[in-house]
Structure 1
Amino acid sequence: MFGAQLPSVPASAVPDDVYLLDVREDDEWAAGHAPAAHHLPMTELPARLAEIPDDREVAVICRSGGRSGQVVGYLLRNGWDQVRNVEGGMGDWAAAGRPVVTDDGQPGRVA
């Protein structure tokens, strides 16, 4: 539906105050994630929509941008209008020098 028109933002330009939604699986999250990210695996999204704010900007991230792109399209079809896909996902996030941590705050890795 949105294709190339999908709203997106480069990983290097994601604002610090955005609601960052990480839709990767539990093992990917455990290996490393953005410090302020909120974890909600893509497969659980329909049952947990109420957890995603609809009154502020939401940036959706996964490993490389594919799953997050699907989630952005889903959210747009379901009433969210301030949502963008993080281009290149966590791979580009880490490559841009942005922090990747584990749940205990230690340095993480993109899995």
Structure 2
Amino acid sequence: MSDDVPVDAIGENTTVLDVREDYEWEAGHIEGALHIPVDQIPARLDELDPDEDLHVICRTGGRSFRVTEWLVGNGYSAFNVRGGMDAWVEASKPMVSETDSEPRVL
């Protein structure tokens, strides 16, 4: 069973794995986060360090919960970020986008 952590658990040196879809990522994400959409996780597992604590995030916490469970089951240290990017925005945390628009959560 994985642990849920609040958005405040994410610090400057935290490894964040964003598992949202490309369009969601492009609209707004945490600067420095690693982006691997949910359905690509198994094929891109070699991009993740099994010795590093991964803080997994999606929009509300559902997809990241499933990915966190899967990663833990495969020997990774992973934590689900409670409330996802919606909680990140509610906590007034900074975001960046890949577009010319203000960062936002879709």
Tell me the TM-score range normalised by the shorter chain. Answer: over 0.9
1:46-96 C-alpha deviation (Å, 9 max, x unpaired): 10001011111110000000000000000011011x210000000001111
The TM-score normalised by the length of structure 2 is 0.93
Runs of 4+ with >2 A deviation: 103-107
Q: Distance in 1 between matches of 2:35 and 2:18?
A: 5
- Using a 3 Å threshold, how does the CA distance of structure 1 residues 44 and 71 change in structure 2: closer, same or farther? same
1:107 positional shift: 3.6
In the alignment, which of 38, 41, 45 is matched to residue 45 of structure 1? 41
Unaligned runs of 5+ in 2: none
TM-score by length of 1: 0.89
CA RMSD of superposed structures (Å): 1.5
Q: Distance in 2 between matches of 1:44 and 1:107?
A: 27
| Structure 1 residue 14, shift from structure 2 partner | 1.4
**Structure-to-structure mapping, 1:89-104, within 5 angstroms:** 89-103=84-98
Deviation at 1:105, TM superposition (A): 8.5
Cα drift, residue 104 of structure 1: 6.1
CA distance in 2, matches of 1:78, 1:70: 13
What is the identity percentage for the equivalent residue pairs of Structure 1 and Structure 2? 43
- For structure 1, the residue ranges without an aligned partner over 5 or more in a row are none
